[in-house]
Amino acid sequence: MTQRVTLSRGHIAAFKPLDFPLLAATETGIPRPGNWVGFLFQNSGQPYQFPNVLVNTRHVAEAFFRSSHLRSPGRIENTFANEGFMDELAIAANADPAEYRLRYLKDQRAIDVLQAAMKLANWQARPGPNPNAGSGPIVKGRGIAYLRYNNAITYVAAVAEVEVNKETGEIRVTRVCASHDCGEMVNPDGVANQVEGGVVQTVSRSLMEAVAWDTNRVNSVDWASYPIMRHTQAPKVEVALIDRPGTAAWGAGEPTACAIPPAIANAVFDATGARLRSVPFTPDKVKAALASVQQRRT
């Protein structure tokens, strides 16, 4: 069963939230309603000021896996699609990906947060892929992503720098520069901690985290069988906080996570010319994408 939602510029269709009973309560045999699935279409509408926008979303009401709450439900997937495609548009226009985004942003706070990330990362404007990625097995690239959470509150931009091993397909995220505007900050140190934690957690989710199963059972049952990023694999994280005294104070726990997968995928394209379209970005997926690029070139 699916439920369809259509969004257009200046309009959000009426949407009746689907019941999503709480997992722990369901396991006790006394389910309680969750009713938050109606928000999963958030950020499906891209944030840029194009003259015509039409978005169709489809929600799968009954999947074979029963998921639970996870940071940035729905928004992270939608932002990945939007920011990956925005990068493709920039490449098609032979434009720098960051400057191409700035062309279609009219909100000054959006412009400020994107420029803050560019400044923090010392962004050098050029159309991709990176002509100086390297000629050996390990190549380097950088990618950018922007969003406004729910298209209504916190502004975020992130630049990811990566190294890609073309022989093994392994990606190493070496540095992430994130800028963040959640309005008036009551506790700036707490906001910075949330942004840094969101970056590290989502780099791990983007590169390796996945549940394994067979026809009988879920096989990811502990920290050995469910991969997570180790301390030695964590990137350097730099944060630029934009304070807006006197404005509304918005959340900081979930928005940054949405920018990380597309920033990494766009950085991999910058390094290799290969597009990654599904998470996690495992070595097998990277090698398959690289082989596809090589095939097109020959």
Query: For residue 175, which phi and psi values (nearest 5 degrees)?
Result: -155, 140
Beta-carbon count within 10 A of 149 CB:
24
Q: What is the mean pLDDT of the chain?
A: 88
Task: Give the predicted TM-score (pTM) of the model.
Answer: 0.90
What tokens were used for 250? Answer: 């918005």
Domains of the chain, each with CATH number or no CATH = 1-69 (no CATH), 75-297 (3.30.365.10)
pLDDT of residue 39: 57
Given a cut of 60, whether residue 206 has pLDDT beyond it is yes
Instruction: Grade residue 19 by pLDDT with cuts at 50, 70 and 90.
Output: low
pLDDT of residue 18: 56
Given a cut of 50, whether residue 175 has pLDDT beyond it is yes
Range of lowest pLDDT (43-47, 102-106, 250-254, 259-263) = 43-47
Secondary structure of 228-288 in HEC code, one letter for each residue: CCCHHHCCEEEEEECCCCCCCECCCCCHHHHHHHHHHHHHHHHHHCCCCCCCCCCHHHHHH
Tens-place pLDDT, residues 33-79: 665 555 567 788 888 998 888 877 776 666 667 666 678 878 899 99
Report the b/e string of 152-174 with b at 16+ CB within 10 A. eebbbbbbbbbbbbbeebbbebe
Matching residue, tokens 């290969």: 274
Given a cut of 70, whether residue 181 has pLDDT beyond it is yes
Q: What is the mean pLDDT of residues 151-174?
A: 97
Given a cut of 50, whether residue 190 has pLDDT beyond it is yes
Helix or strand or coil: residue 191?
A: helix
Given a cut of 60, whether residue 12 has pLDDT beyond it is no
Angle at 288 between CA 287 and CA 292, to 5 degrees: 115
Task: Answer whether the bond into residue 280 is a cis peptide, omega within 30°.
Answer: yes
What tokens were used for 298? Answer: 């020959």
For 75-228, strand residue ranges (E) read: 138-148, 155-165, 171-181
Helix or strand or coil: residue 60?
A: strand
Which residue did the predictor score with more confidence, 43 or 229? Answer: 229
Given a cut of 50, whether residue 223 has pLDDT beyond it is yes
pLDDT of residue 6: 47
